Amino acid sequence: MSANHDGANLLEVRGLTKIFGTLTACDHIDLNIAKGEIHALLGENGAGKSTLVKMLFGSLEPNSGEIFWNGEAVRITSPGMAKKLGIGMVFQHFSLFEALTAAENIALSLDDGSPISSIAAKARALSFSYGLPLDPDSLVGDLSVGERQRIEIIRCLLQTPQLIILDEPTSVLTPQEADKLFETLERLRSEGKSILYISHRLEEVKRICDRATVLRHGKVVGHCNPREETASSLARMMVGNEVKAVVRAPAEGIETAAPLLEIRALSRKPATPFSIPLKNINLNVRAGEVIGIAGVAGNGQGEFFESVSGEVLQQDAGSVRIRGKDAGALSITGRRLMGAAFVPEERLGHGAAPRMKLSENLLLSRHATDGKVFVSSGGLVRAAAVYAAAQRIIVAMDVRKSAPDPEAAALSGGNLQKFIVGRELDRSPAVMVVNQPTWGVDAGAAAHIRQALIELARSGSAVLVISQDLDELFEISDAIAVMHNGELSKPLPIAEATFEKIGLLMGGAEPGHAEHALETA
């Protein structure tokens, strides 16, 4: 391999331990990162990856253990100190300021006093050279998750660090964008930089990483060369046992099934100066099928989800129809009462109230649809029934947690997502609309969620999945449509869909002209 394994280690970690209360999040972790290598850090949610990385970046203080930087023992007491040493970080839960522009966000992490305009110019140039186009003057609050991540990556690269820590960097990129990123990472490696790469995507890790360290339950369970492993052997090391592959039973008779969710000529003006208008969207989702919507972040998927779920009402009541009835003028609760269920993109603050218990979060989303079960005729909450239902979902979705009924924010991202999806599945909805079902969720949990969505469809429901993860859409969808610039292409049956065709549509090739574009390409 091109990596320099013989060179001195840039970073050495010896016996690093972090204890939260009774939980040992990191238990005597050893890790070496050589100069000029891409090192993968693998592990399920809750395996201690984030805790380890936070200690390396100075935002958490280890209880014991040592860190050596270029052979010298260091104590990294603050992110500022990590930056001074030459450690850069791209966060999974973004550390951006929503009320500021992209350029201002970048300027905040640079210590030189250069004016914002020159930083904006530098960021724009860098972002285009790395194929991650970015408008430095846009307001972060108006940007999608994918666009926000670009800011994080560019911000990190502008600090010219020696070690770059990337937490799940490709989860919101198109395959073409991810390729660009890999080129970038390989370029950085050839410049002698080291990269610590956290990902659940094993194919990716096999493709670009020189070495891997696998964590499970806070302990290092192995070091390996990912190129010599298979995806399933890596998954086995991470999970400790086999990950069940998602099984998609053939959909039968869906051609004649009645559409349960109909979108007819849905249009929407941009809500803010930076957001995307929706243009004449038409889509039918029939009983028994899973339709996937692919697209680069920020092409109107968020606006589309809001319109379908009823977060934003439509002028034309017939533009969204659920089970054959107009629903465009109904609120979320109205649409839920018609048998629909919705899972938004953001888990914390949108899908769940972070400071409330799981059972309370369950009640919040289902007090209207399951009123008789959860609320007594006098208007009092039946706490025991709510608690029992929450426990039922926790068991059904295998949600791992530290307390019987913890606050939503206390769960790791993947486990909270399992709970939120499970909360809706528990109702057996006739129509299920999910935005980014497994973003930042580990392989085991993602497989669980995907399988559950397929089974819901096969039991006679209509399932619509919006995702930026193409692997996921190919795994679960019966047909894939692509959203680009507020327009939706016709769904391509899965048998005809290929990564190239979908990728071209995502890049803006005319809907329905994918073949033509391929021929000329």
Partner 1 sequence: MDITVNILLTIATAATPLLIAAIGELVVERSGVLNLGVEGMMIMGAVAGFGAGYLTGSPWIGLLAAIAMGAVFSLLFAVMTLSLATNQVATGLSLTLLGLGLSGMMGTGFVGQPGEKLPNLYIPVLTEIPVVGKLLFGQDPIFYISIALTAAVMWFLFKTRTGLTLRSIGDSHTSAHALGIKVIRYRYLAVMFGGACAGLAGGHLSLVYTPQWVENMSAGRGWIALALVVFASWRPWRVLAGAYIFGAVWIGQLHAQAFGIPVPSQLLSSLPYLATIVVLVLISRNKRLTMMNTPASLGQPFVPDR
Task: Name the site residues for partner 1 (rule: CB under 8 A).
Answer: 58-61, 78-83, 91, 94-100, 104-105, 107-109, 113, 116, 139, 141, 272-273
Residue 248 CA to residue 230 CA, distance in Å, equals 22
343 in Cβ contact with 433 (< 8 Å): yes
Closest approach of partner 1 to the CB of residue 100, in Å: 6
Query: What is the C-alpha to C-alpha distance for residues 268 and 331, in angstroms, rounded to an integer?
Result: 16
- 419-422-426-431 Cα dihedral, nearest 10 degrees: 130
CA distance 473 to 491: 12
Strand partners, 14: 66
| Strand stretches in 70-109, DSSP E | 72-74, 87-90
Smallest distance, partner 1 to C-beta of residue 97, A: 4
Return the number of the residue (85 or 425) whose C-beta is nearest partner 1.
85
CB of 300 to partner 1, least distance (A): 19
Q: What angle do CA 449, 40, 9 make, to 5 degrees?
A: 160
As given in the structure block, the two tokens for residue 179 are 């390729």
- Residue 108 vs 517, nearer CB to partner 1: 108
Is the Cβ–Cβ distance between 197 and 209 less than 8 Å? yes
In this complex, which beta carbon is closest to partner 1, that of residue 182 or of residue 274?
Answer: 274
Which residue lies nearer to partner 1 by CB, 102 or 462?
102
Residue (78 or 190) nearer to partner 1, CB? 78
Question: Which of 131, 203, 140 minimizes the C-alpha distance to 471?
Answer: 203
Nearer to partner 1, 68 or 94 (CB): 94
Residue pair 342/369 in contact by the 8 Å Cβ criterion? no
Nearest distance from residue 76's CB to partner 1, in Å? 11
- Which CB sits closer to partner 1, 196 or 447? 196
The three-class DSSP label of residue 505 is helix
Pick the closest to residue 423 from 353, 368, 342 (CA basis).
342
Nearer CB in complex with partner 1: 96/261: 96
Q: Find the shortest distance in angstroms from Cβ 440 to partner 1.
A: 17
Q: How far apart are CA 43 and CA 197, in angstroms?
A: 12
Cβ 236 to partner 1 shortest distance, Å: 33
Taking the complex as a whole, the smallest distance from the CB of residue 127 to partner 1 amounts, in Å, to 19
Nearer to partner 1 by C-beta: 62 or 300? Answer: 62
In terms of phi and psi (left: phi > 0; alpha: psi -120 to 50; beta: otherwise), the region of 307 is alpha
Residue 20 or residue 499: which is nearer to partner 1 going by CB? 20
Closest CA to 181 of 161, 157, 160, 162: 157
Residue 434 has a CB neighbour count (10 Å cut-off) of 24
Are 258 and 231 in contact by the 8 Å Cβ rule? The answer is no
Q: Is the dihedral of CA 432, 436, 440, 442 positive or negative?
A: positive
Residue 416 Cβ vs partner 1, minimum distance, rounded to whole Å: 18
H-type alpha helices, 270-323: 301-309
* CA–CA separation, 47 and 190 (whole Å): 31
CB of 22 to partner 1, least distance (A): 17
| Identity of the residue, 83 or 458, whose beta carbon is nearer to partner 1 in the bound complex | 83
Question: CB of 162: closest distance to partner 1 in angstroms?
Answer: 17
Q: How many CA atoms lie within 13 A of 213 on its CB side?
A: 25
Closer residue to partner 1, CB minimum distance, 115 or 378: 115
Least Å from the CB of residue 336 to partner 1: 28
Q: How far is the CB of 142 from partner 1 (least distance, A)?
A: 9
Helices marked H in 30-115 — which ranges?
49-56, 79-85, 102-109
Q: Where are the beta strands (DSSP E) in 228-364?
A: 259-268, 278-286, 290-294, 320-322, 325-326, 340-343
Q: How far apart are CA 234 and CA 225, in angstroms?
A: 10
CB of 93 or CB of 384, closer to partner 1: 93
Measured CA distances, 462 to 257, 287, 339 (Å): 10, 5, 11
Determine whether 8 is exposed, middle or buried from the number of CB atoms within 10 Å of its CB (0-12, 13-18, 19+): exposed
Q: How far is the CB of 133 from partner 1 (least distance, A)?
A: 23
